[in-house]
Every structure is written in C-alpha cells, then in structure tokens.
C-alpha cells in the first residue's frame, strides 16, 4: 500500500488499519459475487475491534451502504460501539 507517497507493507500498518483493509477486501469480494447475480451474505465477527472511533464510524457508514445491497450479519460483544447502527438485533444472554 502506498500512503502519503510512502510504500508500506501490511505488517507495518496498525492493527486497526489492517482490520479495515481486511473488511474492505471482503466487501469487494461480496460486490463481485453480486455482479454475478447471486445473493450475498457478509458475516462479520467483531471485524473492527482494533479500530479507533473515527475509523469505526467511517467503516459503519460503509457497512450501512453495503447493507442496502447484501445481507450483513455482525456478531459482536461490543454493544456500545455498535449501538447507533440500524438493524435487527438478537441478544444472547448466558444462562438464560
């Protein structure tokens, strides 16, 4: 990746940036499958756990847009980080 004119390897990026790039790559694969006419479900397990607040907000905007074209299932234990995200919620309670 080249950022601000500097060639950076993935390993030199922060864990938050690595997670964001991984998520964007998965979204791109989903978009390719959509172009072929198939239904797409994007299942994510705490994909942005290392993102800072600004990165999390930006990625949530992207995921909200993506959710208009494909099913997005987000598994997380970070309720506060995703409380503002629209969607159907299912809460699992231990021992309940």
Class of domain 2-82: alpha beta
Which whole number is the average pLDDT over 56-77? 90
Give 80-92 pLDDT, tens digit per residue.
777 777 788 888 8
Using the 8-state DSSP alphabet, how is residue 12 labeled?
G
Whether the predicted pLDDT of 34 surpasses 90: yes
Place of tokens 């099913």: 71
- Helix (H) or strand (E) segment spanning residue 61: helix 53-66
90 burial level (CB within 10 Å; 0-12, 13-18, 19+) = exposed
pLDDT of residue 41: 93
Structure confidence at residue 13 (pLDDT): 82
| Predicted structure pTM score | 0.79
């Amino acid at each position: 990746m080249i950022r601000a004119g500097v060639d950076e390897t993935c390993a030199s990026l922060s864990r938050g940036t690595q997670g964001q790039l991984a998520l964007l790559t998965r979204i791109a694969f989903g978009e390719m499958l959509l172009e072929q006419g198939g239904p797409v479900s994007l299942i994510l397990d705490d994909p942005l756990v290392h993102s800072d607040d600004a990165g999390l907000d930006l990625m949530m905007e992207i995921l909200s847009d993506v959710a208009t074209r494909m099913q997005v299932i987000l598994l997380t234990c970070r309720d506060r980080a995703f409380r503002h995200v629209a969607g159907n919620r299912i809460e699992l309670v231990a021992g309940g």
